[in-house]
Amino acid sequence: MQSIIELKNVNKWFGEFQVLKDINLQVSQKEKIVICGPSGSGKSTLIRCINRLEEHQKGDIIVDGITLDANTKNIEKIRSEVGMVFQQFNLFPHLTILDNCTLAPIWVKKKTKKEAEEIATKYLEKVQIIDQAKKFPGQLSGGQQQRAAIARALCMEPNIMLFDEPTSALDPEMIKEVLDVMVDLANGGMTMCVVTHEMGFAKEVADRVIFMDEGKIVEEKPTQQFFNNPENERTKLFLSQILN
């Protein structure tokens, strides 16, 4: 299998503080990985480096054959192929849900308005909020907003989807509707990197689970093995805390 994301010895510092320490990771096409770990372990920073919302200082990140460095052209190309979903949704509050979705297809992919709206309609139907298309983000519930955000990312028809704790800011009763959309997406064959604490989701869809602590990848295993016989003490402790 060909790897679509490749991280080699990636290091990153915030000032004096090292957030990522020698990260090595490969993600294959259509693979689904879940990254978990205690807060402050660097897992969000890691996936934010993949579409260069954060810059790494040492090592190489290669996405879809393109090496990420200070070259701006590459970054925008990468970003249009890598969709990202944020913890806080980050929908544009001054645009309707439909306009949120058509914005990038129109301005980045230079689609006509009609084409863009067709794409948007397709994905809004997929996440089941087509009836909210004319509303503004502020009028939607958290779960609906997060599904709209997923649709917005999908409208760029990305090869890879990154999820940064997509359900952490949601009320419990809304988590399921978002996870359902994500499971559906996974079944459709999307390459996905998901930072989450939803272990049920990990068990259901992940091919591999990665556990991070203090900026390092502590454990990396196929899902079954990860849950059934974790090796590292910290992983065990984390799992026991989060599963109970």
Partner 1 sequence: MKILSKTLNKINIFLENNPKITIYFPQFLIILVLTIIISYFSLNASTNMAARGIETGFAFLKNKASFDIQFSLIEFDSNDSYARAYLVGLLNTLLVSGIGIFFATVIGFFVGIIRLSTNILASKVAEAYIEIFRNIPLLLQIFFWYFAVLRLLPSSENSLILFDFVFANIKGIYVPRFVWTNFNFLTYGLVVSILAIYIFRFYSKKKQDLTGVQVPTFTTSLIIFVVINLLFIIIGNVGLSLTYPVLETNRGIHNYSGGVSVIPELIALAFSLSLYTSTFIAECVRAGILGIDKGQKEAAASIGLSKSQILKLIVIPQALRIIIPPVTNQYLNLTKNSSLAAAIAYPDIVLVFAGTALMQTGKAIEIVSITMLTYLTLSISISLFMNWYNKKNSLTER
Name the site residues for partner 1 (rule: CB under 8 A): 51, 53, 76-77, 79-80, 82-84, 86, 88, 90-94, 103-104, 106-115, 135-136, 138-141, 149, 152-153, 155-156
CA dist., res. 169 & res. 238, Å (int): 21
Least distance from C-beta 222 to partner 1, angstroms?
29
Q: Which is nearer to partner 1, 141 or 168 (by Cβ)?
A: 141
Query: Which of residues 128 and 141 has its CB atom nearest to partner 1 in the complex?
Result: 141
- Minimum CB–partner distance for residue 90 and partner 1 (Å): 4
Whichever of 136 and 227 has its CB closer to partner 1, that residue is 136
CA atoms within 13 A on the CB side of 57: 11
Q: How far is the CB of 28 from partner 1 (least distance, A)?
A: 22
Q: Report the nearest approach of partner 1 to the CB of residue 124 (Å).
A: 15
Taking the complex as a whole, the smallest distance from the CB of residue 166 to partner 1 amounts, in Å, to 13
Measured from the CB atom, the residue of 88 and 187 that comes closer to partner 1 is 88
Shortest separation between residue 191's beta carbon and partner 1, angstroms: 16
Tell the residue number behind the tokens 């790494």, with chain if given.
Answer: 56
- Choose between 83 and 215: whose C-beta lies nearer to partner 1: 83
The Cα 51–Cα 193 span in angstroms is 12
Report the residue number, 52 or 208, with the smaller CB distance to partner 1.
52
Q: Which is nearer to partner 1, 154 or 209 (CB)?
A: 154
Radius of gyration of the chain (CA): 18
Q: What's the Cα-to-Cα distance from 37 to each of 43, 108, 206, 219, 239, rounded to whole Å?
A: 7, 35, 15, 10, 9
Beta carbon of residue 181, minimum distance to partner 1 (angstroms, whole number): 18
